[in-house]
Amino acid sequence: MALQAEEAVRNGTAEGHGLVLAGVTKRFADFTAVDDLSLTVPAGSFFALLGPSGCGKTTTLRMVAGLEQPTSGTIGIGGRDVTALPPYRRQVNTVFQSYALFPHMSVLDNVAFGLKQRRVRDARAQAKAALAMVELEHLGARKPAQLSGGQQQRVALARALVNRPAVLLLDEPLGALDMKLRRQMQVELKAIQTEVGLTFIHVTHDQEEAMTMADTVAVMNQGRVEQMGPPRQLYELPRTAFVANFLGRSNLMRGRVAEDLGQGLGVDVAGTRVVLPKARATEHHGSVVVGVRPEKVRIQRMDAPFTATANQLAGTVVDASFTGVSTEYLVDIPGVGLMGTFSQNLGQDPASPGEKVRLLWEPDYSFGLAGGEDTGAGGVRP
């Protein structure tokens, strides 16, 4: 395995070897940036490290690149231990957050830089091809300062990709772009990754970006991975309040398990019985936190008919904001607090603040977290 990888590296044909972090810890003088992190990224996948600033995701990336030495633990790429290798000996390339294009070189020289350092013979031709891939072949003679932000981003991408690294690291590569360009680049990046089949590690604090692009998302918080998995699974079944709040929004309610219903649990939430499937709960006894995503919650006037099997809570509309596609409501539930929901714009008359309403959701959409969870973790959302 190691030999194969090395040979692939030498031949320049290395394609998406997996990345393995084992017990990686990084301590700085006064804090621990990454705490005993272990993860495996399969070759050829698009992996996102998602978390708020300061969660240790960039430090992790820098350790993979070799720009930072782990305090302990090992880093393996393609089955080879690279922990002690300096960055210039690692088959890893980075797209830096601020792009870090060499200002004194032309765009083409920037892209050819890595190839030239490895004494690849047709460096310029390959660099031109890489520029063509990002549709910038006509700008090769320019200096980076003469390009727009989006163009610089593509050059940085081409400069890294042209080396066919075993692992490509992307450090918030879209952070400096405006919303529209960001969306466009997300699609392009994903397309390029599918095309070249390399392993991409993408660091971001934008949950939407992580979910649209990555095969696997690891949510990081305070130097640890909170939860890892495919975006859909993380979204539908968060295991901690941090993930529930950081990845999308959640309504979290404190409650106590009151009865065992076989497949489900009956939970007392502020005096109302709510049903929670056992398979979706981390705890089956005592105090728990019941969660539900806002878009799963329907809002009804008190006089409207409803199905008795649905979970329901009654409250008063505090705020209704019309966004065109939908109306967002904040509803105050006595004993629970504020809950959020959307109602798709189907032409109905929206409920207005002060009105009494009923919130309903299917029991199968509920998820259960440990009772000790801080319901405010990971976001300021209601």
Residues within the interface to other proteins (CB under 8 A): 6, 9-10, 27, 65-67, 69, 71-72, 81-89, 92-94, 96, 98, 100-104, 113-114, 117-118, 141-143, 146, 159-160, 163
| Nearest to other proteins of 71, 287 (CB atom) | 71
- Closer residue to other proteins, CB minimum distance, 110 or 186: 110
Smallest separation (angstroms) from other proteins to the CB of 198: 15
Cβ-based nearer residue to other proteins, 174 or 265: 174
Least spacing, CB of residue 241 vs other proteins, in Å: 29
Smallest distance, other proteins to C-beta of residue 215, A:
24
- 60 vs 83, beta carbon nearer other proteins: 83
* CB of 178 vs other proteins, minimal distance in Å: 20
Pick between residue 96 and residue 371 the one whose CB is nearest to other proteins. Answer: 96
User: In the bound complex, what is the minimum distance in angstroms from residue 214's beta carbon to other proteins?
Assistant: 22
Three-state secondary structure string covering the chain = CHHHHHHHHHHCCCCCCCEEEEEEEEECCCCEEEEEEEEEECCCCEEEEECCCCCCHHHHHHHHHCCCCCCEEEEEECCEECCCCCHHHCCEEEECCCCCCCCCCCHHHHHHHHHHHCCCCCHHHHHHHHHHHCCCHHHCCCCHHHCCHHHHHHHHHHHHHCCCCCEEEEECCCCCCCHHHHHHHHHHHHHHHHHHCCEEEEEECCHHHHHHHCCEEEEEECCEEEEEECHHHHHHCCCCHHHHHHCCCCEEEEEEEEEECCCEEEEEECCEEEEEEHHHECCCCCEEEEEECHHHCEEEECCCCCCCCCEEEEEEEEEEEECCCEEEEEEEECCCEEEEEEEECCCCCCCCCCCEEEEEECHHHCEEEECCCCCCCCCCCC
Q: Least separation, in Å, of the C-beta of 15 and other proteins? A: 18
Taking the least distance from each CB to other proteins, the nearer of 173 and 294 is 173
